[in-house]
Structure 1
Amino acid sequence: MADPVRVQTTYGVGIGWRPEIGGFVEGLPGLRFAEVVAESVHAHGDLPPGLRALLDRGVTVVPHGVRLSLGGAEAVEPARVEHFAAVAERLNAPLVSEHIAFVRAGGVEAGHLLPLPRTREAVDAVVANVRRVQAAVAVPIALEPIAALFDWPGDELTEAQFIGEILDRSGAMLLLDIANVYANARNRGDDPLDLLDQLPLDRVAYVHVAGGAEHQGLYHDTHTDAVPQPVLDLVAELCARHRPPALMLERDGDYPPAAALAAELDAIAGASGYPTVT
């Protein structure tokens, strides 16, 4: 496996490919980077036409897993890992990504990404599962810390320490979701720059940028709302500290008109200093 820290090609501003906005994504003239939910791509057979068109244009497409449950107490399911590896190979992806989270326990599916207790036992579980994935996937993996609406009692580590130990022991890269940094800090009453400055930014593989909304006093990382200005401000702060290879707009449902999507991409480009893709 390649040294993950050295995967540093610059892709600029990208977007998550979804079937509902496939035509819009395919039509972006300056696009060099996109992401697709790994579980939405078949391991065999034809690729969705829009996705095939991006690959034919030379756009880098990274598979992003949402169902491996790397933080679960059980070992990752071999069939899911096999599919993950096959999709990465089909897309000729330079890396893959998944979440520091769990989605099932004792055979019960949560249907949502759930946060882990920040304990060393949880670190052990994540690292063991990441190593199982790395043994099957031929490219590096980047791990994404999620937005959490609550913290478990009895945490032994800060969020930055928890993330750092997992990355150090697994050798994985960091998929930094700047919107999650904002959400977690806001919900805890913390300064997001404090967390940003504690993270290993030299290990960032790429960055998610997404919108959210407040509900009953908590900020929810919805992916269905426009990216708010405070998140764009964090993008600028991040790029001033360590410019990432790519900044990717995440939208998952309630898709706005093409002009609004283009404006969001332009806003991310403006905050980061990267060229626009529209």
Structure 2
Amino acid sequence: MSAPLVPGVGIGWRPEIAGFIAALRGVQFCEVIAESLPIARGRAIVPDELAQLSTTVVPHGISLSLGGAEPVEQARIDRLAACAVALDAPLVSEHIAFVRADGIEAGHLLPVPRTREALDVLSENIRRTQDGLPVPFAVENIAALFDWPDAEYTEAQFLTELTDRTGVLLLLDIANVYANARNHGVDPVAELNRLPLERVAYCHVAGGREIDGRYHDTHTDPVPEEVLDMVRSLTSPKPLLLEVDGNYPPAAQLLDQLDAIADAASLPRITDRMLP
């Protein structure tokens, strides 16, 4: 399978920074939360600010609950598919997590137990989702403040077997790898290099902060230098997307973060491409 995205720097599209994104030149791609797009008669309604962007847009789901014990709901798969069609997207993505059980919504992305039984369920839900999509599917590793007991795999082993079983692509959240490694007291670059990097479709980069002795992937703080070091450690260029969700800084600070990611990856700077 050819890579759905080419290496470059992107940003998560949010209504609060739509004007900033519209003014950018040289941004490689954007990502929009799929559930934020209304559905009417089976079609996704794309707001004008998003439809008018002259760049690739990837729908990113947050509600499939791929790791849940119940089969993924067909209506949720259909929604992702409708978003892919409306945006002419090259792929769609979701999280390796569960968000509900017995109809009760958790309100959070919860980690999947790293057991063979859970891997079987997750793999089947991913295959079911892939069968209902018109484009390739990528799944994202999450940051987790706790681990389930009796793990039979490391995270790297779990993700490697998952991608081998299903052929699914990986949305590599570098900030989440950093958060988990820091909270477990292990080397984040070593953890990164254990993952199936050959399956990466694109990457997330985001900020965080330490709260009560635990590092939280907040998406509201600047990207730390340690996460940029992880970007520098990648041996091949990847598409890299900055996630910001709230506490939006001034445009100049957003540009600084985009340029810092580009510099770390030896990719063209956004500000250089905006020069007359």
- In structure 2, the residue matched to 1:65 is 61
**8 Å contact kept, 1:11–1:33:** no
Percent identity, please. 61
Give the secondary structure class of the aligned counterpart of 1:235: helix
Distance 1:274 1:156, change over 3 A: same
User: Cα offset for 1:10?
Assistant: 1.5
User: In the alignment, does 2:261 pair up with 1:251?
Assistant: no
The C-alpha deviation readout for 1:243-267, integer Å capped at 9, x for no partner, is: 21x1000001111111111111011
- The reply to whether residue 268 of structure 1 matches residue 261 of structure 2 is yes
1:29-48 counterparts in 2 under 5 A? 29-43=25-39, 44=43, 46-48=45-47
Q: Structure 1: how far apart are the matches of 2:265 and 2:32? A: 22
- TM-score normalized with structure 1 length: 0.94
- SS of residue paired to 1:224: coil
Letter in 2 for 1:163: L
| C-alpha distance in 1 between matches for 2:206 and 2:88 | 26
**1:82 and 1:136 in contact (8 A); partners too:** yes
Deviation at residue 202 of structure 1 after TM alignment: 1.1
CA distance in 2, matches of 1:176, 1:156: 22
Contact kept, 8 Å, 2:207 with 2:222, in 1: the verdict is yes
Any idea what SS the aligned residue of 1:47 has?
A: coil
- Cα RMSD between the aligned structures? 1.1
How many residues are aligned here? Answer: 268
Structure 1 unaligned runs (5+)? none
Give SS of 2:153's match: coil
Q: CA deviation at 1:142?
A: 0.7
Q: Displacement, 1:214? A: 0.3
TM (norm. structure 2) is 0.95
Deviating 4+ runs (over 4 angstroms): none
Query: What is the DSSP-based 3-state SS (H/G/I as helix, E as strand, rest coil) of the residue aligned with 1:34?
Result: strand
Counterpart in 2 of 1:130? 126
Structure 2 stretches of 5 or more lacking a match?
A: 272-276
Q: Secondary structure at the match of 2:52?
A: helix
Partner of 1:53: 52
Asked if the contact 1:211–1:224 (Cα under 8 Å) also holds between the matched residues in 2, the reply is: yes
Contact kept in structure 2, 1:42 and 1:87, CA below 8 Å: no
Residue deviations 1:145-198 (CA, integer Å, cap 9, x gap): 100111111101001001111111111011101101100000001101221111
2:116 to 117, 120, 126: 120
**Paired residue type of 1:110:** A
Q: Is contact 1:149–1:184 with CA below 8 Å preserved after alignment? A: yes
Q: Report SS of the residue matched to 1:205.
A: strand
Q: Secondary structure at the match of 2:49?
A: helix
Deviations 1:11-64 (A, max 9, x none): 40000000010010111111121110111112336421210111xx2x110001
Specify the code of the residue in structure 1 equivalent to 2:236: H
- Which of 168, 174, 178 is 1:178 aligned to? 174
Distance in 1 between residues matched to 2:247 and 2:189, nearest whole Å = 30
| 2:84 equivalent in structure 1 | 88
SS of structure 2 residue aligned to 1:51: helix
SS in 1 for 2:10: strand
CA distance in 1, matches of 2:109, 2:130: 21
